[in-house]
Structure 1
């Protein structure tokens, strides 16, 4: 369905150097920030994904702009098409595989605090936002990577087996434990 609309944006994306992506590194950060900025744009009866599709070219420069200009006409029809092609171009499959393996094989270092391990694990997830692991899988991986004392502390905070909790409950427990430990260590 083709919808004609005019978008009078108060933000000039091409002059916002923070989100200009040139095509070398940090493609996932550019995409995340672009999503955050464009999620604030609203137009009646126009899906936000259409707005993103329209504005995305203005967030590119250099090699990234050249890549998009070389895409065949009508080869990108949806926001999902664009994201998929963008990630495949600027986040090669080998890097995805490498980071997915780091997430899967994550373990708490011997002298690493719970909070430090959690922050490092979240950092790996942010480095590869298209990792494809469910929240349950992420929590299971993190829990099983912990030393026995930290596993016991999570089980205690959960009032039983931590892994029996729903993912949102488990995440809340981890975040709470992380904040308590972090504030005590200051």
Structure 2
């Protein structure tokens, strides 16, 4: 098929391909608008790609849960607001995603976490948790806080063993003994 465009038409800048990666479902609500104070609150903790992505999502979910509209799903609000929460490298990442490639909030979270918390990081933290031990001269409460920090870093990990067992089993024997001696047999 022949291209019947003139040379001037062929040299014009394209007008397609400028859609956002995020597709927000149509909102058929009357009087719905995102208020500037909500946008400002989301922008008060921008993610640049260097922070903990899990903390960013927790903060973002907390902020967006404060805003409700009876006719608009919360996930649509999140999809609308999320680009405002990014800056720098993270904003560039979202801009480079293919147009109309993010259709749901779950799609967005999955792509975001895979970008900024790749499987290799998950594997690293999983191994740290599974092989956790109390360091010599480390107080019980310090070990517990360190263990909880590892769990927070790896929130997507599923455990075959309950995390408390993972923490408790390798704790130094001298720490365990007082707790073990408190067990009472019930007959």
TM-score bucket (shorter structure): 0.7 to 0.9
Write 1 or 2 for the structure with the bigger share of helix: 1
Note if contact 2:122-2:154 (Cα within 8 Å) is conserved in structure 1: yes
Shift of 1:56: 0.6
Q: Match of 1:145, SS?
A: coil
Q: Find the counterpart in structure 2 of residue 172 from structure 1.
A: none
| Structure 2 length-normalised TM | 0.72
State the Cα RMSD in Å.
2.6
Relative CO higher for 1 or 2, CA cutoff 8 Å, sep ≥ 6?
2
Q: Is the 8 A contact 2:42 2:63 kept in 1?
A: no
CA distance in 2 between counterparts of 1:33 and 1:157 reads 40
* Structure 1: distance between partners of 2:133 and 2:176: 12
> Could you tell me how far apart the structure 2 residues matched to 1:59 and 1:28 are?
13
Alignment gaps of 5+ in structure 2: 1-24
In the TM superposition, what are the counterparts of 1:54-65 in structure 2 within 5 Å? 54-65=80-91
Q: TM-score, normalised by structure 1?
A: 0.72
Listed as ranges, the matches of 1:1-186 within 5 Å are: 2-5=26-29, 6-9=32-35, 11-13=37-39, 18-133=44-159, 137-155=162-180
Q: Quick one: structure 1 residues 80 and 16, their matched pair in 2 at CA, closer, same or farther if it must change by over 3 Å?
A: closer
Unaligned runs of 5+ in 1: 161-186
In the superposition, relative to structure 1, how do residues 15 and 2 fare at CA in structure 2: closer, same or farther (>3 Å)? closer
Q: Does the CA-based 8 Å contact 2:42-2:60 persist in structure 1?
A: no
3-state SS of paired residue (2:75): helix
How far does the alpha carbon of each residue in 1:112-144 deviate from its partner, in whole angstroms, 9 at most, with x for none? 22211110001111222222337x621111111
